Amino acid sequence: MAGAGGGGCPAGGNDLQWCFSQVKGAIDEDVAEADIISTVEFNYSGDLLATGDKGGRVVIFQREQENKSHPHSRGEYNVYSTFQSHEPEFDYLKSLEIEEKINKIRWLPQQNAAHFLLSTNDKTIKLWKISERDKRAEGYNLKDEDGRLRDPFRITALRVPILKPMDLMVEASPRRIFANAHTYHINSISVNSDHETYLSADDLRINLWHLEITDRSFNIVDIKPANMEELTEVITAAEFHPHQCNVFVYSSSKGTIRLCDMRSSALCDRHSKFFEEPEDPSSRSFFSEIISSISDVKFSHSGRYMMTRDYLSVKVWDLNMENRPVETHQVHEYLRSKLCSLYENDCIFDKFECCWNGPDSAIMTGSYNNFFRMFDRNTRRDVTLEASRENSKPRASLKPRRVCPGGKRKKDEISVDSLDFNKKILHTAWHPTDNIIAVAATNNLYIFQDKVN
Amino acid sequence: MAGAAGPGTGSGAAGGDGDDSLYPIAVLIDELRNEDVQLRLNSIKKLSTIALALGVERTRTELLPFLTDTIYDEDEVLLALAEQLGNFTGLVGGPDFAHCLLTPSGICHLGHEILAVLQKSCLQPPLESLATVEETVVRDKAVESLRQISQEHTPLALEAHFVPLVKRLASGDWFTSRTSACGLFSVCYPRASNAVKAEIRQHFRSLCSDDTPMVRRAAASKLGEFAKVLELDSVKSEIVPLFTNLASDEQDSVRLLAVEACVSIAQLLSQDDLEVLVMPTLRQAAEDKSWRVRYMVADKFSELQKAVGPKITQNDLIPAFQNLLKDCEAEVRAAAAHKVKELCENLPSEGRETIIMNQVLPYIKCPEVRLNIISNLDCVNEVIGIRQLSQSLLPAIVELAEDAKWRVRLAIIEYMPLLAGQLGVEFFDEKLNSLCMAWLVDHVYAIREAATNNLMKLVQKFGTEWAQNTIVPKVLVMANDPNYLHRMTTLFCINVLSEACGQEITTKQMLPIVLKMAGDQVANVRFNVAKSLQKIGPILDTDALQEEVKPVLQKLGQDEDMDVKYFAQEAISVLALA
């Protein structure tokens, strides 16, 4: 059944059944703009899951330890810490409002008991430390337990504060603020595998930062033409290679990807690899350029491949082959006939992200109508699933959805015309090792797991 | 109340009813937890005062445990704390206190030494936790304090307490603790027993191949320091392989640090060992694919040169240096260029000249570097013969003399008198004279001005006869130049040359030209004639002044141009010709 109906997404070889685990966020129909989730990211171990929203908040969920007393709660994610990362600002010089919306979150590899993450809005990147505290000091010399001041002349002995255990407290503190380096809107941040630097990319430039230095960054890519009227493309995403600290890629609005090697020179304006698929002249249309713009680029965990998402498809590239992708998966090909109306309602400019599973055998990306897609790279099977509250009983299996590409609609199929384009899944994340996925649907975060064996 | 026990022990703490003396300390202790960072910082900085007041025992049993948990504080507080703890040994007690001390675990019967060990070991928990914080400055300070404290340990105490701490850090879960461990090996190794030494080496080895690049970087940066305290055999058998591995690490951020270690390791090895054990790696680093590694080689070049000695320098480093000078990355070239002077200075006097002439200079393409060499000619002259140097520099000088940037031209003009002095009149006439004259008609005023001053200095060097034969005729010819700016240059030259050339030349050759120019059609030239006459007047005799200068100035004094009139009248009054 799995194959025929596309009933399960086979990730890692065996067909696997996804089931509902949790949903976070309000149920209300009218959604506050500030509550819309704008980024989702697991940390390196997968024990923490961070979301950022348009209100500038970061919410961190922690996976509960497998508990003996609740054998059924298989590592659910619960709120660990919530904090306001960015506030709305106003640039008085340019008369521009700077939104507080969190564009990206990236975790740092864990370096001590605390956790660190970078969060960014359009202009400013912040390094946050999330740390735990379970002791507090007690006892003062100049006041007693209930806070009353003591007579300073009646002190007969010195008291050193004593540490007492207390309820666990999670603190988020801003450690560094990396500001004033971007003229345009930051679309990506990526931590280098050398653990001491990271890059930030805006529409025209990529900067390289040292994590401990906030007053200086190096510009490593600058595609701004001398005359802005000659501008033909912008940087849409950038990412460091997971293992090779000198390699990074950036994608452009023209559907191309450039790979740069920081070893060869300090300025990486000249790429060392250029990935581009020749355009099929037969499918050329008014929208060709818009839909070929790459909205996300992600290296596989192995570092051998990278994946790019454009409006209608997701492509997997072998880093050793520049002239065409090794795989192209159609995400919602049925929208090709709808491009005109998608252009009119601006949906065509939606920036869908994509992600790999732990062993790089499957990929996931979002679509409309709260649908998201998974592709198994080995079996070439794919499935469309829906993030919805309707079937949100714990451990209920997700039913595969099918969209009727036109013509006669079969039973259980949804017609293209009834898709809700306001419900879009732009941000998804896959646990680094387990089959757990986090799917952001507007203001709700859905967590799905594979069916327990 | 724990506090009550303190005074009673008679451990030297303030106590009893001394309210007045306790109050300030009480405030300090309370302010360790004040909400205001500045107040907390002030308290931490007076930690020794608090410890002194509490006495050694309470410092050990109460203050230090509390401080251990202060690691949640702001960086600057932690930094101050890490620094304070480095000087705390005396404040937690010493062997002298042993007999009257009663530790909570009741080990007062232990010997002095053991007790001292315990006292020192209680310093470690706060520093150990500070050595794991994420902030590098704090961690480094904690490591520095730990190194300081290690020196105060007896060998026994070192093995009983300090080495275990290093091992704990080295095998810690988080890479912050492992990076901190890297800096502690070298201080405990020399005083450890052989068995412990082997363990320490083992720990260091594993950190050199740690999964985290942060740790490998920390190990690489401490490799040289560690090598210095190791036995020579261990250096060869253990450090060299580690060095080779780090120098070929997959991350260039690690490889570049191995270059630094190379300097220390090279100093320890004999020439033969160097050639076999270190040079292959160093050669590889100089040609590394990553410009950052090559930059590091260029940046550390003088140190490397000193460490490997003259022979290897000549055979290996000089060719490597040539490549760095023409590297494809500007940052690398710049770093190499900065080292040219030191490189030359450090060459052995024998054969230095040949190396510089044949192997360094031809590769220097960057005008700034050449200029730098030329500017140091007087000291280079002591190193090699100037004539020979000039031969190879001449093309550079000519090139710079015609550089498109006037500041470069200006800089080279300023070295001309020096060069002239070094090269002698013959060579100068042959090669450089025409350049000096060409500058007189440069289109930038600053160059023309510098060129005229240059002429004066040349005349001072080569004498009036030379001036009369070579300079003056050329200067005077310009008086007929169609460009009035060039005509004025003649006047400016005469202004500065007249004094150097003396009365005879001035009167016979220069004065007629100046007077003739009084009839120039450009007012600027005419008033400069007036100014020149004022300038050269004192050099002339009274006859010339009265018969030749006076009429001309009087005529200019009636000039239709206001400025000409003004300067002519000024000259008349200064020269007292009225």
Please write down the HEC assignment for all residues of B290-304.
CHHHHHHHHHCHHHH
Q: Is B558 exposed, middle or buried (0-12, 13-18, 19+ CB in 10 A)?
A: exposed
Are B340 and B307 in contact by the 8 Å Cβ rule? The answer is no
CA distance A106 to A122: 15
Provide the pLDDT for residue B230: 94
Q: If DSSP codes are grouped into helix, strand and coil, which group holds residue A332? A: coil
B214 contacts in A (CB within 8 Å)?
111, 194-196
Are B353 and B344 in contact by the 8 Å Cβ rule? The answer is no
CA distance B556 to B566: 9
B20 contacts in A (CB within 8 Å)?
153
H helices, E strands: number in chain B: 41, 0
A195 contacts in B (CB within 8 Å)?
175, 212-214
Task: Judge whether A279 is closer than 8 Å to chain B, CB to CB.
Answer: no
Task: Judge whether B132 is closer than 8 Å to chain A, CB to CB.
Answer: yes
CA distance B498 to B532: 10
* Torsion of Cα atoms, B370 then B371 then B376 then B382, to 10°: 40
Whether A141 and B30 lie within 8 Å, measured CB to CB: yes
* pLDDT over threshold 90, residue A308: yes
Domain-by-domain residue ranges, chain A? 18-450
CA distance B304 to B34: 51
* pLDDT over threshold 50, residue A9: no
CA distance B499 to A172: 78
In A158-250, where does DSSP find H-type helix?
none
Return the structure tokens found at A442.
């507007």
Task: Judge whether A196 is closer than 8 Å to chain B, CB to CB.
Answer: yes
Higher pLDDT, A240 or A70: A240
Residues within 8 A of A (CB atoms), B 383-442 only? none
End-to-end CA distance of chain B: 106
State how far residue B326 is from chain A, nearest Cα, in angstroms: 14
Whether B330 and A266 lie within 8 Å, measured CB to CB: yes
Find which of A144, A151, A158 to mutate to test the B interface (most B CBs within 10 Å of its CB).
Answer: A158
Q: How do residues B330-367 score in pLDDT, each as one tens digit?
A: 889 888 888 887 887 788 777 776 777 677 766 766 66
Q: At what angle do helices B484-505 and B445-462 cross, to 10 degrees?
A: 20
CB nearest A157 (choices: B15, B174, B330) = B15
Choose from A1-10, A81-90, A409-418 the range with maximum mean pLDDT. A81-90
A213-222: long-range contacts at Cβ-Cβ below 8 A with a sequence spacing of 24 or more?
Answer: A214/A176, A214/A177, A214/A178, A214/A179, A217/A178, A217/A181, A218/A266, A219/A267, A220/A260, A220/A262, A220/A266, A220/A267, A220/A268, A221/A250, A221/A260, A221/A267, A221/A268, A221/A269, A222/A267, A222/A269
Residues within 8 A of A (CB atoms), B 225-254 only? 250-253
CB nearest A265 (choices: B133, B177, B291) = B291
Find which of B1, B9, B11, B29 to mutate to test the A interface (most A CBs within 10 Å of its CB).
Answer: B29
Are B181 and B128 in contact by the 8 Å Cβ rule? The answer is no
Task: Judge whether A168 is closer than 8 Å to chain B, CB to CB.
Answer: no
Residues within 8 A of B (CB atoms), A 231-250 only? 243-246
* pLDDT over threshold 50, residue B102: no
CA distance A209 to A197: 5
Q: Which residues contact residue B94 at a Cβ distance below 8 angstroms, ignoring those fewer than 6 apart?
A: B116, B119
Provide the pLDDT for residue A292: 94
Task: Judge whether A4 is closer than 8 Å to chain B, CB to CB.
Answer: no
Mean pLDDT score, A308-320: 96
Q: CA-based Rg of chain A, rounded to a whole angstrom?
A: 24
Which residue's structure tokens are 């026990």? B5
CB nearest B26 (choices: A142, A175, A246) = A142
Q: At what angle do helices B75-86 and B47-58 cross, to 10 degrees?
A: 60
Percent of chain A with pLDDT over 90: 69
Instruction: Calculate the average pLDDT of chain B.
Output: 82
Provide the pLDDT for residue B341: 77
Q: How many CA atoms lie less than 13 Å away from B574 in the CB half-sphere?
A: 17
Chain A residue nearest residue B64, CA to CA: A160
Query: Which of B218, B147, B220 is closest to B189 using CA atoms?
Result: B147
Find which of A160, A196, A260 to mutate to test the B interface (most B CBs within 10 Å of its CB).
Answer: A160
* pLDDT over threshold 70, residue B3: no
Whether B19 and A154 lie within 8 Å, measured CB to CB: yes
B17 contacts in A (CB within 8 Å)?
156
Provide the pLDDT for residue B104: 28
Whether A154 and B289 lie within 8 Å, measured CB to CB: no
Worst-scoring range by mean pLDDT, A332-336, B89-93, B240-244, B292-296?
B89-93
Query: Which of A173, A175, A165 is closest to A137 using CA atoms?
Result: A165
Are A325 and A315 in contact by the 8 Å Cβ rule? The answer is yes
Q: If DSSP codes are grouped into helix, strand and coil, which group holds residue B570? A: helix
Higher pLDDT, A21 or B93: A21
A212 contacts in B (CB within 8 Å)?
136
Global pTM? 0.77
State how far residue B165 is from chain A, nearest Cα, in angstroms: 17
* Angle, CA A81 vertex, CA A78 and CA A87 arms, to 5°: 130
Whether A158 and B6 lie within 8 Å, measured CB to CB: yes
B13 contacts in A (CB within 8 Å)?
158
Are B394 and B424 in contact by the 8 Å Cβ rule? The answer is no
A171 contacts in B (CB within 8 Å)?
72
Q: Which residues contact residue B543 at a Cβ distance below 8 angstroms, ignoring those fewer than 6 apart?
A: none
H helices, E strands: number in chain A: 3, 34
> Is the predicted ipTM greater than 0.95, yes or no?
no
Q: How confident is the model at residue B504 (pLDDT cuts 50, 70, 90)?
A: confident
Residues within 8 A of A (CB atoms), B 31-70 only? 32-33, 53-54, 58, 62-63, 65-66, 69
Return the structure tokens found at B9.
């022990």
Task: Judge whether B15 is closer than 8 Å to chain A, CB to CB.
Answer: yes
Q: If DSSP codes are grouped into helix, strand and coil, which group holds residue B388? A: helix
State how far residue A357 is from chain B, nearest Cα, in angstroms: 23
By residue count, chain A amounts to: 453
CA distance A233 to A293: 9
Q: Which residues, listed in sequence order, are joined to residue A171 by a DSSP beta bridge?
A: A131
Residues within 8 A of A (CB atoms), B 315-334 only? 328-331
By residue count, chain B amounts to: 578
Task: Judge whether A92 is closer than 8 Å to chain B, CB to CB.
Answer: no
Provide the pLDDT for residue A273: 95
Q: How confident is the model at residue B1 (pLDDT cuts 50, 70, 90)?
A: very low
CA distance A210 to A208: 7
CA distance A119 to A85: 7
Return the structure tokens found at B377.
């000619």
Q: Which residues, listed in sequence order, are joined to residue A169 by a DSSP beta bridge?
A: A133
Q: Which residues contact residue A188 at a Cβ distance below 8 angstroms, ignoring those fewer than 6 apart?
A: A104, A199, A200, A201, A237, A238, A239, A250
Q: Is B547 exposed, middle or buried (0-12, 13-18, 19+ CB in 10 A)?
A: exposed
Higher pLDDT, B531 or A394: B531
A112 contacts in B (CB within 8 Å)?
132-134, 174, 176-177
Whether B3 and A157 lie within 8 Å, measured CB to CB: yes
Provide the pLDDT for residue B161: 80
Whether B3 and A194 lie within 8 Å, measured CB to CB: no
CB nearest B253 (choices: A161, A245, A264) = A245
State how far residue B179 is from chain A, nearest Cα, in angstroms: 10
Q: How do residues B188-216 score in pLDDT, each as one tens digit?
A: 999 999 999 999 999 999 999 999 999 99
- The distance of Cα B337 from the centroid of its chain, to the nearest Å, equals 14
CA distance A248 to A237: 11
State how far residue A151 is from chain B, nearest Cα, in angstroms: 10
Find which of A44, A107, A112, A173 to mutate to test the B interface (most B CBs within 10 Å of its CB).
Answer: A112
Mean pLDDT score, B93-119: 38
Q: How many CB atoms lie within 10 A of CB A54?
A: 19
B288 contacts in A (CB within 8 Å)?
263
Whether B251 and A155 lie within 8 Å, measured CB to CB: no
Query: Which of A44, A29, A5, A199 is closest to A120 using CA atoms?
Result: A199
Query: Which of B496, B492, B488, B571 is closest to B537 using CA atoms?
Result: B571
Q: CA-based Rg of chain B, rounded to a whole angstrom?
A: 38
Q: Which residues, listed in sequence order, are joined to residue B19 by a DSSP beta bridge?
A: none
Q: How do residues A416-438 score in pLDDT, each as one tens digit?
A: 888 999 999 999 999 999 999 99
Q: What are phi and psi of B547, to 5 degrees?
A: -90, -30
Provide the pLDDT for residue B371: 65
Q: How confident is the model at residue A201 (pLDDT cuts 50, 70, 90)?
A: very high
* pLDDT over threshold 70, residue B373: no
Q: How do residues B34-89 score in pLDDT, each as one tens digit?
A: 888 899 999 999 988 998 898 888 887 888 878 877 667 788 888 998 888 888 77
CA distance A217 to A209: 5
Q: How do residues A53-64 score in pLDDT, each as one tens digit?
A: 999 999 999 998
A244 contacts in B (CB within 8 Å)?
250
B253 contacts in A (CB within 8 Å)?
194, 196, 245
CB nearest B25 (choices: A158, A175, A244) = A158
If phi > 0 it is left, if psi is from -120 to 50 it is alpha, else beta; for residue A36 that is beta
B255 contacts in A (CB within 8 Å)?
none
Provide the greatest CA pair distance for chain B: 115
Q: Which residues, listed in sequence order, are joined to residue A441 by a DSSP beta bridge?
A: A444
CA distance B69 to B427: 77
Q: How many CA atoms lie less than 13 Å away from B361 in the CB half-sphere?
A: 23
* pLDDT over threshold 60, residue B523: yes
Q: How confident is the model at residue B435 (pLDDT cuts 50, 70, 90)?
A: confident
| A and B: number of Cβ contacts within 8 A | 133
Provide the pLDDT for residue A357: 95
Fold of A18-450: Methylamine Dehydrogenase; Chain H (2.130.10)
CB nearest A111 (choices: B58, B176, B291) = B176
